[in-house]
Structure 1
C-alpha cells in the first residue's frame, strides 16, 4: 500500500523476515511443490498441528491499535488476529471472510455485503455491520486515526474525503449499517479492486464498546484487544515478540491448521540465519551475500513483490527534455544482468512499469496482455542518443540522483557502467539521504533519479494514475492524451475496455514518451523448513497468512 504523495505501506512497513523482507509472494514450500493454499485449508483435510511454527520479525511490534498501526509487522499480526469482509487466498484473489457474499449494483458503485451468521468477537460479542461502519469512519477521522491510511477508504467511498477534511459529516459518508448483517457502501467510481481493498487492515471491523473501554491503552497489550480472526494473542511484548493461539470463536476455526505461531524479534540478519540453522525458527530471509551459498539447498526459495524500481526522468530538465535522449537511456542497460548478477535476491529485470502477476483484465495478467514494453537494445540506444544530441546541438552532461541505500548504490553503479560502455557517456552519481533526495525531486532540482513504487492494491491503476498529477517528483510529465486515458479508465465499467486504456497508458508512459525507465521488479530469497507448508505470502497488502500453515 502507498500513501498518496508520501511514503507507502510497503515503504513504511519495516523489512522483516516473516514477510520476506517486504510483502513477498510465495505459496510454495522450499522444494518448489505446491503447499496447502487457502482453498486447501478450507477443505479441512488436515487436522490442526500440535507443532508450533516459529517465525521472526526484524523489529519491534510497535502498536496493534488498528487506527495507529502503520508498519508491516503490526499489519501481519493484525491480519491473523482479525480479518475483513474478504480475505486473499493463495492466488491473491479475494474470498468471502466475515462477509458471506456481496451484491454489486449494475453501475458497479453500490456494494451490499451480507455478513455470515454467528460471527463473533473473542469475548462472545456478535460482529455486526455497525462494527465495520465504526472502524471505517474512525480510520477516516484524523482525530482518531494516526496511521496515515485514511486515503485507502476516502479515495473510494462517497463522502469520505469531505469527512476526513472536515468539510463533511459522518452522516454524509456512504456507509450504511442497514441491519446487523447488512452493510451497504457506495463508491465514487467503479473500482474493480474494491473487494481486495476490503481485505486490508484499515477495512477491518472494530467493536466500539470495547475500544472505548480501553481508551489510550487499546492495542498495547494482549488483553487490550479482542479478536475476530484465526488467532488470538496469548502474549505480546513489543521488544520480544508475540505468541498467537488458535481462536476458538473464529467462524472457520476447524480449518485453522496450527495451534501456535511464535513470533520472535531478531534484529540482525546473521543472527536470524544462525537461529534458522539451529532449528529455532522455520523460515529466514537471505541477504544477497548469502544467496549463492544456499541456492542448492532444497529449502531455498524465492518470491516476488509488487514493487518496481525505475528511473524517473525530469522532462523539463536540461538534456532530458529531449525524448530521444530519454529513450536512449531507457534502452542502454540490461536489467536482467543487474537482477541476476548484482541484486541476486529474487528480483527480476523489468519489462514494463507494472510488475509480473498483477491483475489485468480478469483472465490474463497485465504483463501477459501488454508484453515487454521495454527491453535492452544497445544499437537502437546509440542511434537515439546520436539523434538526440543532434537535436540538442551538443551532448548533455547528466547526473543521476539516488538515495544512500546499499541496494540503490549498487543499481546506480551498474547504470553508470552501462551508460559508459554502451553510449560512451559519463554520468555522475549524486548520493543523498532518502529525505534529501525526495526534497530535491519535489523542488525540481534533478535530471533523473532512481526511485520506486510499491502497489497499494492489485491493479495497474495504483501505478498509472501517479503521473496525472504533473508534479516535479513525477518528472513534470504533462499529456492530455495520457490524462484522458486514466480519467476514462476510472469511469469505465467494462473490464476489457478499462484494461485496454491502462495498457495504452503504460506504453505511452514507458515507450512513446519515455517518462520513466523501469529497471527491476522486487523479489527476495529465503530458506524455509521442508516440514512447514501452507504459509501464504502476498505481494501487496497484508503480508502473510498463517491460517493454512502447518508443521508436519
Structure 2
C-alpha cells in the first residue's frame, strides 16, 4: 500500500526577470501520493540518517574518477552572479541558476543536442485516451552521484519539495492533481486537465527529482555547497568558491555520458557586465551572458548572438505595503506608462526589439496559426503624442499637474544596461509630465531587494519557459509577482483559461486577463525583446539555447 498525502497548493511564488524567474501554471489544490513520503508518516528511499560527510566522500570519489577518465573538452563560461545561483531546484529562479541546474540534475524529460525536449530519466510513457493519466517507466541505469538509484519516489518527493518550498515555481505542476510512485520504477501522474505541453514542463529544472534523505541531512544548507546535494544529471558540482566560480565535472556513470562532450565546466560568477565582456574578449571564457550596450559594435560579428527571447521588458510598480502611496493610484501608473517613448528606448538598445503594447509577447499562436496579440486590444495607441496628452490629463486628475508635488521615488535596476534604459524613461517622465523626483538606483542584490519589496519602481522582464500563453499571464496572478499585485477578477479569468479545453473559449479568457492588466497597470510593458549573449562560435559548436537558458555539455571544438 502507498500512503496518499493531500497538499494544498501554496498561493505563493514569484516571477523573475532579465536573469529570469518564471512561474508556470495556475492556482489550484494538488494532491500528491507516494511511496516513502515523510509527510505521510513513512520514510523516503534511502536512509534518513545519510550525512553530508558521506555525500561529500561519494562526490569527491566520483569526481576524481570522472576527471581521470575524461577525454573531452574543458571550457570556462560566465553565466550569472553568486546572487543568481540557487541550486536547489525548488528555489532556483534565475536564468543562470536554472541553466546550472540543467547540468546537475535531470527530469523525466531533458533537452537533446538540438534543443528538443526528449525523454530523460523516463524510459517509456503511456498516456490514457483522455490525456489525463501519464504512466512513466524509469530507466534501469539512472543513478545519483553517490551511486544510489533514482526512484519514482524521488520524483514524488521532488514535486512536494517544490510546492512546500513556495519558491518561484511552486505552482509549476498545478496541472497534476495526483502523483503516485507505484514502485521504484513506475510513476503515475493524473492531470486535472489535458496538457499538451506537459513534457516541456517536466523537462523544466523545478520538476526534477530530489533525494529526501539528503535534504533532511543538509537542512537549510541543502544545495549550498558541493557536498550538500547529490546529482542525477550529466554533471556534478565538485567545487564552489563562493562569489568567484563553480566547477561542474562530467559524471562517468551518467547513463548517456557518451553524448556529453565537455568533461569540465568552470562556471565563473560575476555581476558586472563590463567584467564579463572583458573576460570574453580576453578569451578567458567562451560564453558571457551579458555585456554593456556600448560594447555591441565591438562584438558584432565577433561573438554577439541573438535568439528569440519570448521576453517582455517592463517597468514594475510596487503596489505592496512598502511601495509609495502615489503608485497605488492606477491612473498615476497609467500616466507613467503612456509617457514612455518606447521607440526611443528601442533605438537606444539597438537590439531588434519591438514595442510592447501588450503584456503577452508575440509568437503565441493557435491551431489556425493566428497570433494571440492580433486578436486583443493594445494597451495604448501607437500615436505617442496623443498618449502624452492623455498621460498629462491623468496625472493632473490624480492631483499632480505638471508633476507638481509628485513624491520622490526610487527606480531600482539590476545592471548598467537596465540603468541606461531606466534613465531614458525617467527623462521621458520629466520632459512630458514634469516629474523630476525619480532617482535610478543600481542594486547589486537586485533580485532579493525587489522580492522583498524594497523599491518603488523597478526593472522587470519575463522570459517564457515555453511558448504557451499561460506561462506569461500566470506571473500576474495573486502571489506570483513582486509588484504585490492581486486581482480576484484577473485570477478568475486566468484560472478559467487554463482549465478550458476549448481553444477559442480559452483565448477569450486570456483576452480578459490582458484587458484587466491594461486597466490596472501593475507593470508598464516597454518592449518585446530578443535575448543576446556572447559566444565563441568561431571556435565552438553545439551550444543549446532554450528560452533564455543555456546548456554547455554538447559543445564541440571546430
TM-score, normalization: structure 1? 0.69
What is the CA–CA distance in structure 2 between the aligned matches of 1:302 and 1:117, rounded to whole Å? 39
* Alignment match, 1:137: 160
* Alignment match, 2:533: 526
| Preserved contact between residue 79 and residue 269 of structure 2 (Cα < 8 Å) | yes
| 1:312-461 matches, cutoff 5 A | 330-341=337-348, 343-344=349-350, 348-357=354-363, 366-367=372-373, 374=380, 376-381=382-387, 384=390, 395=401, 397=403, 401-405=409-413, 410-418=420-428, 424-431=432-439, 449=457, 451-455=459-463, 457-458=465-466, 459-461=468-470
The CA deviation at 1:419 is: 5.3
| 1:25-424 matches, cutoff 5 A | 50-60=72-82, 64-66=87-89, 73-88=96-111, 94-105=117-128, 108-141=131-164, 145=165, 148-149=167-168, 151-153=170-172, 155-158=174-177, 174-188=178-192, 191=195, 193-208=197-212, 219=223, 222=226, 225-266=229-270, 268-303=272-307, 305-311=309-315, 330-341=337-348, 343-344=349-350, 348-357=354-363, 366-367=372-373, 374=380, 376-381=382-387, 384=390, 395=401, 397=403, 401-405=409-413, 410-418=420-428, 424=432
Change in 2 beyond 3 A, CA 1:288/1:345: farther
The CA deviation at 1:288 is: 2.5
| Preserved contact between residue 158 and residue 209 of structure 2 (Cα < 8 Å) | yes
What is the CA–CA distance in structure 2 between the aligned matches of 1:544 and 1:263, rounded to whole Å? 12
Deviations 1:144-203 (A, max 9, x none): x5x835723574444xxxxxxxxxxxxxxx321112332112345555544333223332
Q: Pick 1 or 2: higher relative contact order, CA cutoff 8 A, min separation 6.
A: 1
2:246 is paired with a residue whose SS is strand
Query: How big is the alpha-carbon RMSD for the aligned residues of Structure 1 and Structure 2?
Result: 4.7
Deviations 1:68-107 (A, max 9, x none): 6566554433311221112246787633221234444566
| Preserved contact between residue 247 and residue 266 of structure 2 (Cα < 8 Å) | yes
2:433 is paired with a residue whose SS is coil
2:295 is paired with a residue whose SS is helix
1:52 is paired with a residue whose SS is strand
| Preserved contact between residue 81 and residue 229 of structure 1 (Cα < 8 Å) | yes
Deviations 1:48-76 (A, max 9, x none): 98432221245349664555656655443
Change in 2 beyond 3 A, CA 1:190/1:429: farther
What is the CA–CA distance in structure 1 between the aligned matches of 2:160 and 2:492, rounded to whole Å? 32
Change in 2 beyond 3 A, CA 1:148/1:329: closer
Please, which runs of 5 or more residues in structure 1 have no aligned partner? 15-47, 159-173
* Alignment match, 1:551: 557
1:404 is paired with a residue whose SS is strand
Change in 2 beyond 3 A, CA 1:517/1:137: closer
The CA deviation at 1:527 is: 2.8
What is the CA–CA distance in structure 1 between the aligned matches of 2:99 and 2:11, rounded to whole Å? 22
Change in 2 beyond 3 A, CA 1:188/1:234: same
| Preserved contact between residue 543 and residue 554 of structure 2 (Cα < 8 Å) | yes
| Preserved contact between residue 49 and residue 550 of structure 1 (Cα < 8 Å) | no
1:486 aligns with 2:494: yes
1:186 is paired with a residue whose SS is strand
The CA deviation at 1:282 is: 0.8
| Preserved contact between residue 489 and residue 498 of structure 1 (Cα < 8 Å) | yes
The CA deviation at 1:353 is: 0.8
Change in 2 beyond 3 A, CA 1:56/1:514: closer
The CA deviation at 1:335 is: 1.4
| Preserved contact between residue 317 and residue 327 of structure 2 (Cα < 8 Å) | no
TM-score, normalization: structure 2? 0.69
What is the CA–CA distance in structure 1 between the aligned matches of 2:384 and 2:353, rounded to whole Å? 22
What is the CA–CA distance in structure 2 between the aligned matches of 1:57 and 1:195, rounded to whole Å? 26
2:361 is paired with a residue whose SS is coil
| Preserved contact between residue 312 and residue 527 of structure 2 (Cα < 8 Å) | yes
Deviations 1:240-268 (A, max 9, x none): 53333433333333322333323234555
| Preserved contact between residue 81 and residue 270 of structure 2 (Cα < 8 Å) | yes
Number of residue pairs matched? 485
The CA deviation at 1:132 is: 0.9
1:517 is paired with a residue whose SS is strand
1:133 is paired with a residue whose SS is helix
| Preserved contact between residue 279 and residue 285 of structure 2 (Cα < 8 Å) | yes
| Preserved contact between residue 141 and residue 255 of structure 2 (Cα < 8 Å) | yes
What is the CA–CA distance in structure 2 between the aligned matches of 1:244 and 1:82, rounded to whole Å? 12
Please, which runs of 5 or more residues in structure 2 have no aligned partner? 1-9, 22-69
